Amino acid sequence: MNQAHELASIEVEEFISLRRDIHQHPELAFEEYRTATLVAQKLKSWGYEVHEGIGGTGVVGVLKNGNGEMSIGLRADMDALPIHEQTGAEWSSCNHGVMHACGHDGHTAMLLAAAKELAAKKDFSGTVNLIFQPAEEGGGGALRMMADGLFERFSCDSIFAIHNMPGYPVGHLIFRDGPAMSSSDYVTIEINGVGGHGGMPHKASDPIVAASSIVMALQTIVSRNVDPQQSAVITVGAFNAGHANNVIPAHAKLELSIRALDPQVRIDIEARIKSLVHAQAESFGLTANIIWKKGYAVLVNSSAETEFARNVAVDFFGEAAVTRQGPALSGSEDFAFMLEKIPGSYLFIGNGDTPGTCMVHNPAYDFNDGNIAIGATFWSELVKQYLKT
Ligand SMILES: [Zn+2]
Ligand SMILES: [Zn+2]
């Protein structure tokens, strides 16, 4: 850390206890009632204007100060995962089969710690919107909050979010300009043939052979159609057909997961899969139905806001504590939808890099409480610089 600066006057013990309390009471997507109530109570006690029930269990805390016209949005996610906890920690989950295995308990605690600091110091001029979001883990809580008028009701000039990342030292801040996390789409392909006797294939139209050919042809899309400088994934995760050795079934079903790091690559892959699947099925005299379910969008950090946040981090914590341009990840994140509307940046904070450090979504994972003071200090410093008095 830069010797010229000290961490904000966060009462760390209070927020470590709070984090562990949230950890002990994890709640799944759109069921974050206890967590949301806790967040709302804290914000109210510090003088925030609090709006509850946005997009289900979402909470927004608004704090205005001075005459500044600029506004900033900071987002934390609150939901847990359907995982049986195996950390052995004193603050282990009380809700059987539900666990904070992605550190959203920590994200919530870091933002609350910053909320208290901002309300106490009031060293900014403008509007701070603290967005506590439900259902990040696949539920699309960001979209639900937006459908509930999030940005119409709480105007934000820019938005930011932090996620912890195991594999980097505790408190290390990792930025990335441009595409940072993949889109994620779910595709079902149904191949419709004509069933028949296994000994008389010429009297049937075999969907297994056609579907096998489709699986192989799909492998050519990333290798032959996607620009080698880009990245994408097409995984066939399920192939279901038939039930007996002497029966040709009438149908086969494939389930695919599609990821891309560029919005145009995502569009191109969709067009290519549709054309390839129909052409392949037709070449075998069969038909195909494709059910395309769009998941999260590509998360794209805007340049100016990423640069701004990165400079705040480097000025405050020093160059060694910051990765200016980290790698893109093939995970996905619904903050991407917010970034499609409002410029901003999604960054990571290291969760520890010692041997045995667990990745998120592992039953032995736990958020590192050493991040609370650093994350909250970064949040309050970002607000102070963005809404300069
Ligand atoms: Zn997660
Ligand atoms: Zn997460």
* Whole-angstrom distance, CA of residue 297 vs CA of residue 170: 28
DSSP 16-83: HHHHHHHHHS---TT--HHHHHHHHHHHHHTT-EEEEEETTTEEEEEEEESS---EEEEEEE---BS-
Confidence (pLDDT) at 7: 73
Nearest to 32 by CA among 61, 60, 57: 57
Confidence (pLDDT) at 229: 94
Q: How far is the CA of 335 from the centre of ligand 2 (A)?
A: 11
Q: How far is the CA of 79 from the centre of ligand 1 (A)?
A: 9
Q: How far is the CA of 209 from the centre of ligand 2 (A)?
A: 40
Q: How far is the CA of 137 from the centre of ligand 2 (A)?
A: 7
On the question of pLDDT at 2 being above 60, the answer is: no
CA distances from 84 to 32, 106, 109, 312, 363 (A): 18, 18, 22, 38, 6
Placement of tokens 């002497």 in the chain: 246
For residue range 15-73, list pLDDT tens digits in order: 999 999 999 999 999 999 999 999 999 999 999 999 999 999 999 999 999 999 999 99
Q: How far is the CA of 215 from the centre of ligand 2 (A)?
A: 31
Q: How far is the CA of 361 from the centre of ligand 1 (A)?
A: 6
Dihedral sign, Cα of residue 57, residue 102, residue 340, residue 223: negative
Confidence (pLDDT) at 251: 98
Q: How far is the CA of 360 from the centre of ligand 1 (A)?
A: 6
Q: How far is the CA of 138 from the centre of ligand 2 (A)?
A: 10
For residue range 312-326, list pLDDT tens digits in order: 999 999 999 999 999
Q: How far is the CA of 199 from the centre of ligand 2 (A)?
A: 52
Q: How far is the CA of 347 from the centre of ligand 2 (A)?
A: 12
**In this structure, how many other beta carbons lie within 10 angstroms of the beta carbon of residue 88?**
8
Q: How far is the CA of 333 from the centre of ligand 1 (A)?
A: 8
Parallel, antiparallel or unpaired: strands 196-197 and 247-248: antiparallel
On the question of pLDDT at 99 being above 70, the answer is: yes
Q: How far is the CA of 237 from the centre of ligand 2 (A)?
A: 23
* Whole-angstrom distance, CA of residue 131 vs CA of residue 111: 9
Q: How far is the CA of 260 from the centre of ligand 2 (A)?
A: 19
Confidence (pLDDT) at 3: 43
Confidence (pLDDT) at 4: 46
DSSP 316-358: HH-GGGEESS---BSS--THHHHHHHS-EEEEEEE---STTPP
pTM above 0.75, yes or no: yes
Q: What does DSSP assign to residue 287? A: E
Q: Which residues surround ligand 1, an ion (CB under 5 A)?
A: 102
* Whole-angstrom distance, CA of residue 115 vs CA of residue 271: 45
Cβ(39)–Cβ(116) below 8 Å = no
* Whole-angstrom distance, CA of residue 23 vs CA of residue 26: 6
CA distances from 300 to 7, 253, 346 (A): 30, 33, 9
Confidence of residue 9 (pLDDT cuts 50, 70, 90): confident
Q: How far is the CA of 38 from the centre of ligand 1 (A)?
A: 21
